[in-house]
Amino acid sequence: MPFIVEQSGAITIISVTGHLIVANRQELKHVVLERLRTGDREFLIDFAETGYIDSSGLGVLVSLSKKVREQGGELRLAALNEDLRTLFQLTKLDTLFTIVDSREEGLRDG
């Protein structure tokens, strides 16, 4: 399982270990939507242990962010290294998401 789910107060943290790509994006979608269905509203996706993200991975984050917002919640991103952050800048998705430097910052500000 490339996704580790933890809970810190009201915040659901999902760590992406490995890559977020076309082959596993549906797993992430399933995890977030299931948590959303059971009442979770604040999500922090932790990329500290992530190798790379492809366009399908970016796409699923866009789609999930929209669904979470529709339910009054927020999906934030944490711990993107410089290379991963570049992907968000190139695609201008850095304007769509709240991106924090670390999981700790995300929990503090959450």
Partner 1 sequence: MDPELIFHLPSDVLRIEDAVEKVVARCHRIIELERRASRVRMNLRVALAEALSNAMLYGNGADRSKRVRVELTITARAIITRVTDEGPGFDYEDIPDPTTPESLLKPDGRGIFLMRKLLDEVSFNERGNSVTLLLRRDQVRRE
Identify residues 28-57 at the interface with partner 1 (CB under 8 A): 51-56
List the one residue from 8, 66, 102, 104 that touches partner 1 (CB under 8 A). Answer: 66
Can you give the three-state secondary structure of the chain, one letter per residue?
Answer: CCEEEEEECCEEEEEECEEECCCCHHHHHHHHHHHHHCCCCEEEEECCCEEEECHHHHHHHHHHHHHHHHCCCEEEEECCCHHHHHHHHHCCHHHCCCEECCHHHHHHHC
Q: C-beta of 47: minimal distance to partner 1 in Å?
A: 12
Return the number of the residue (66 or 102) whose C-beta is nearest partner 1.
Answer: 66
Regarding 27 and contact with partner 1 (CB under 8 A), the answer is no
Structure tokens at 80: 């993107």
* Token pair listed for 101: 């430097």
Residue 74 binds to partner 1 (criterion: CB under 8 A): no
Binds partner 1 by CB under 8 A, chosen from 93, 98, 105, 107: 93
Single out the segment in contact with partner 1 by CB under 8 A; choices: 4-12, 61-69, 72-80, 101-109.
61-69
| φ and ψ at residue 48, rounded to 5 degrees | -60, -30
Applying CB under 8 A, the residues found at the interface with partner 1 are: 19, 21-23, 51-56, 58-60, 62-63, 66, 81-84, 86-87, 90-93, 95-96
